[in-house]
Each structure stands twice: as C-alpha cells, then as structure tokens.
Amino acid sequence: MLLNQEIDLLESKIDKLFDLQKRHSISLRKSTVHERLGHIKRLREWVLSHKEDIQKALYADYRKPYTETDITEIYPVLSEAKHFISNLAHWMKSKRMPTPLTFLGTKAQTQYEPKGASLIIAPWNYPFNLAIGPLVAALGAGCTAIVKPSEMTPHTSALIRRMIGELFDEQMVAVVEGGVEASQLLLSKPFDHLFFTGSPAVGKIVMKAAAEHLTSVTLELGGKSPAIIAEDANLKDAAEKIAATKFLNCGQTCIAPDYVFIPNSKRDPFLQYVKEAIDSMYKSGKKGIEKSPDYSRIVNERHFNRIMHLLQDASEKGAKIEIGGKSIPEENLLEPTVLVDINPTMLVMQEEIFGPILPVMVYENLEQALALVNEMPKPLALYAFSNSSRTIRHIFEQTSSGASVANDCALHFLHPELPFGGVNNSGIGKSHGVFGFLEFSNQKAVLEQRIGFTAAKPLFPPYNMAKKKMIEGLLKWF
C-alpha cells in the first residue's frame, strides 16, 4: 500500500507522462514504416544482447529455468518482432475498396491510422513476453505506450524499466511500476487504447474504467481451458503433451489445459502415461522434483496458499491425489499433482486453477463432456485429442473458445499468422502479428468524391413527385 504522499507523487508523474505522450502521439500519425521498424529493430537487438539479464530476472522472480525463459519469454518477443519487420510495410498500406455502381465517381480506401496514446498492463506469469510482445504491436501501429508491468515479478519489472529507459524517450514509451494503485491511476486517464492481460475479474474493472472515456480495449484474459480426450485418441501422445503444457511455468499459464475429460475406460492407462511423462521431465534418478532445475515455483506465498486451498477443498469433497501432492511451503513448491474422482462442485472445477494441479474427469459419452464444457464460461483454448477428424470437427463445432487445437496443446500461441485471444469471459479482441497491429490501429474509412458533384444531390429535399418516384425505383434495386 502506498502512502498518500507517494500516491500524489505517482499521480503527478502519470499526468505528466500522459500529457507528453498524448501530444507526441499526434505527430506519430505521420510516422513512416521506416521509423516504426527502427524502434522494433532496436528493441529486438536489446533483447538479443541482454538475454542473460532477462533469464536472471525471471529466475530471481520465481526460479524460472533459463531455457524455459528462452522458449516462452524471449522467443515469442523475437518472433513477433521479426514478423512485424517482414510484414509491417504491407499491413500499413491503405487498402483500395471496391466501388459499387451507386458510388461511381468515388474512390474508397481503408487506412490504418495509429490509435494514439496506449496503455499496456501486463500480468506476472509471462511477465516479459506479455509486456514487450504487445509493445511491439503498439510500436508497429505507430502508437505511444505506457507499460505497467506486474508488481508480483519485481526483478522483471525493474529490468523492463531499465530496457525501456535505455531504448526510448519518455514521450514514446515509458514504464510505470507498481500495483493496483498505479494501475488505477493510469486507468483514470483517457488513453486511446488499452491493452490488458490478466484475470477476468480485473478485466471487468479495466473495462469499466475504459468505458468512462470510451477507450477501446483489448482484454487478454484467462479461464478454464479443457483438454477433451476421445475414445480413439493416442493416449501416450495426449498425456505427454498435456503434462508438458500443464506443468510448464508450474501450471501458471493462461492457455495450460486446466482440466482433462477422458472416457472412463481410458483413465488408468492415461494416468500411467502422465506419471511417466512427469517423471521423465522432472525426476532424475532418485532425486525428487524439488531438485529439478527445470521446474519453476509458484510465484508467491499468496498464490501458493490459494492453490493449496483448491487442493484441500477437492480432497474434502472426495477427490483423490493420484500423482504428486507433495509441497514445500517455504519454497512455494507443489509437485505436479493429478486429481481423480472429481465432481463439478469442487473449486478446482469452478475457478481457473493457474497452478500445478490437473483434475481428470471421466465421462461415459462425449456429449456429456461437451454439455459440461458449455455450461462454463467460454475458455481461452480448447484442446481435443482424437484420431478421427470427424470427432475433432464435432467437438470444435459444439463448443466456443478463443482457440481450438487438435492433438496438441498451446502451440497456437507461437503461430505467427494466427489471432490470439479469448471470447467473452476469456477475452475481447486479438493479438499477435497483423491482429495486434489492427488492435492498435484505427481502421479509417476514407472516401473521395472525384467527379466534382455529389452523386446524391438529386436526392436532396424538397422531395417532389419525381424524386419520390426515383427513390422508390432505387429501393426496388436492392
């Protein structure tokens, strides 16, 4: 909690930054592809030359393994930057629109104008990637940005402040560090676009604040992403992919499979494969998982306690720990933990787990499982495992989610050409590549009358009989 005096200081800093960026954002309306790519290229070079600093910051925050930082924090930012470098000139070009007969003599275009001053609020779970990835899109679209990293990963937050300070003037990009108070002060300003990544609960607060100024929003939220395994699926393959994605980053991944649905008859062999996958990823010899250099920690004590409460609630309501369950509170560590005998009244089936607990629910027929998925808010991702393309199509057609992935998990996040985002409770708007560019751009309609008179002039009042007849005739045309 900040003191009143500190809040006043922060407020005046934010007011100054906002005014500075708002003014600068107007001059950026004319920015060229060359200028925008200049920013992105310098950012990319900084990331490449400070790889070790990024790895160290994330390790200090929650013991994230260096290689996992390479794969999930550095690679996505470099890949987004590269994709912008290759495509921005094409995306920025005005698009000539067709001219229907009734508009003869006009020229119509869609132009992509920078929205202006943007605010990026990032979460703690991929704290570098989810602050800097959207920044690439904001810069590509020609916007200024204030970046607010998460207060829960202070080492990464400090690193982002240093990086932005070394790369940009404050009028272009600035960092405001802090927690809820900083966020709320920022949210009170009339930004032109707001890009928020975080929980649905805070997403609602952000959207209400944006409504005050009718600021457009991109909300990248979370939810319960199911993995549905069909009767004919390759169980070993499904188990390996689900375990790898679920326990990556200690289960703290927005698109991790939150829970599994599996036919009753396939449950035990599936569990055996999951156990083997966990052992092979995190156990070496007789050493426990706590010794694995490849398993991160839960971000802090508050989240550790929240996750342990979910586990306790499930146990009290009849769930059985089938795999894992061991915890070391002083390290915020819970082993990869798999629960069976699950029912929908358990908190693990009502809240986003966001930790290393995987509930495995059984079903007798697929329709039952789909009905349960459809009773819950629409997820960020839905994973379906089956050897039949007809079954996959059926699952995808019967459900709604931000992304649907067949026979794999989370891979869509890394695909540069795909939109990334949720639907309703799991998010509003899309990011990555051209979709991120469009979020930060105003798609402006530009129409030029080229024949010197208004084609609609004969329709101006007064509406005499001849005009009425002409209008009636026109309506019959459509």
**Does residue 77 interact with ligand NAD by CB under 6 A?**
no
Task: Please enumerate in sequence order all residues whose Cβ is within 8 A of that of 453, keeping only pairs 6 or more positions apart, or say none.
Answer: none
Q: How many Å apart are CA 403 and CA 261, to the nearest integer? A: 18
Strand pairing report for 337-340 and 357-363? parallel
Pick the binder of ligand NAD from 73, 240, 352, 439 (CB under 6 A): 352
Which residue lies nearest ligand NAD, judged by its C-beta?
222
For ligand NAD, the closer CB: 204 or 326 = 204
Nearer to ligand NAD, 54 or 289 (CB): 54
CB of 405 to ligand NAD, least distance (A): 15
123 scored as a contact of ligand NAD (CB under 6 A)? yes
Cβ contacts of 217 within 8 Å, gap of 6 or more: 193, 194, 195, 196, 206, 207, 210, 428, 429
Closest separation in Å from C-beta 438 to ligand NAD: 17
Query: Taking the mean position of all CA atoms in its chain, how far away is CA 341?
Result: 31
Verify binding: residue 407, ligand NAD, rule CB under 6 A.
no
Tell me if 266 sits within 8 A of 272, measured CB to CB.
no
Examine residue 79 and tell whether it contacts ligand NAD (CB under 6 A).
no
Residue of 44, 64, 83, 148 interacting with ligand NAD (CB under 6 A): 148
Q: Which residue of 122, 139, 314, 339 would you call a contact of ligand NAD, by CB under 6 A?
A: 122
Which listed residue (69, 197, 245, 337) binds ligand NAD by CB under 6 A? 197
What whole-number distance in Å separates Cα of residue 288 and Cα of residue 290?
A: 5
Length of the chain: 478
- Give the chain's radius of gyration (CA, Å): 26
Active-site choice (68, 220, 322, 439): 220
**Residue 201: in which H helix or E strand, if any?**
helix 200-213
CA distance 366 to 364: 7
Contacts of ligand NAD in 266-305 (CB under 6 A): none
CA 33, 36, 38, 41 torsion-angle sign: negative
CB 144 within 8 A of CB 117: yes
The residues, ordered by sequence, that sit 6+ positions from 322 with a Cβ below 8 Å of its Cβ are 271, 338, 339, 340, 360
Stretch that binds ligand NAD, among 148-156, 272-280, 358-366, 371-379 (CB under 6 A): 148-156
Cβ proximity to ligand NAD, 10 vs 233, nearer residue: 10
The yes or no reply on residue 198 touching ligand NAD (CB under 6 A) is: yes
- 227: which strand partners? 260, 383
Antiparallel, parallel or unpaired: β 193-197 and 117-121: parallel
Q: What is the identity of the amino acid at 70?
A: D
Is residue 254 flagged as an active site residue?
A: yes
Q: With CB under 6 A as the contact rule, which of the stretches 80-88, 116-124, 358-366, 451-459 interacts with ligand NAD?
A: 116-124
Stretch that binds ligand NAD, among 107-115, 177-185, 270-278, 289-297 (CB under 6 A): 177-185
With contacts defined by CB under 6 A, name the span among 49-57, 117-125, 155-163, 262-270 that binds ligand NAD. 117-125
130 touching ligand NAD, by CB under 6 A? yes
Minimum CB distance to ligand NAD smaller for 142 or for 436? 436
414 binds ligand NAD (CB under 6 A): no
Window 218 to 237, contacts with ligand NAD (CB under 6 A): 220-222
Q: Helices then strands (H, E): number in the chain?
A: 16, 18
Beta-carbon contacts of 169 under 8 Å, excluding residues fewer than 6 positions away, are none
Question: In terms of Cα–Cα distance, which of 139, 112, 134, 128 is closest to 38?
Answer: 139
Q: What is the C-alpha separation between 19 and 42, in angstroms, rounded?
A: 25
Concerning whether 250 is annotated as a catalytic residue, the answer is no
One of 62, 112, 124, 168 touching ligand NAD (CB under 6 A): 124
Residue choice 18, 191, 354, 363 for contact with ligand NAD (CB under 6 A) = 354
Q: Number of C-alpha atoms within 13 angstroms, CB side, residue 135?
A: 31
Looking at 38, 105, 165, 179, which residue binds ligand NAD (CB under 6 A)?
179
Contacts with ligand NAD in 6-65 (CB under 6 A)? none
Q: Can you read off the two tokens belonging to residue 13?
A: 């800093």
Choosing from 7, 85, 108, 205, the residue that interacts with ligand NAD (CB under 6 A) is: 205
Edge-first strand order for the sheet with 193-197 is 173-175, 144-148, 117-121, 193-197, 216-220, 427-428
Question: Which of 144-152, 257-265, 393-401, 462-470 is the region at the interface with ligand NAD (rule: CB under 6 A)?
Answer: 144-152
Question: Segment near ligand NAD (CB under 6 A), from 10-18, 105-113, 119-127, 282-290?
Answer: 119-127
Tell me: does residue 192 bind ligand NAD (CB under 6 A): no
Residues making contact with ligand NAD (CB under 6 A): 121-126, 130, 148, 150-151, 179-180, 183-184, 197-199, 202, 205, 220-222, 254, 352, 354, 380, 422, 427
Write out the catalytic residue numbers.
Answer: 220, 254
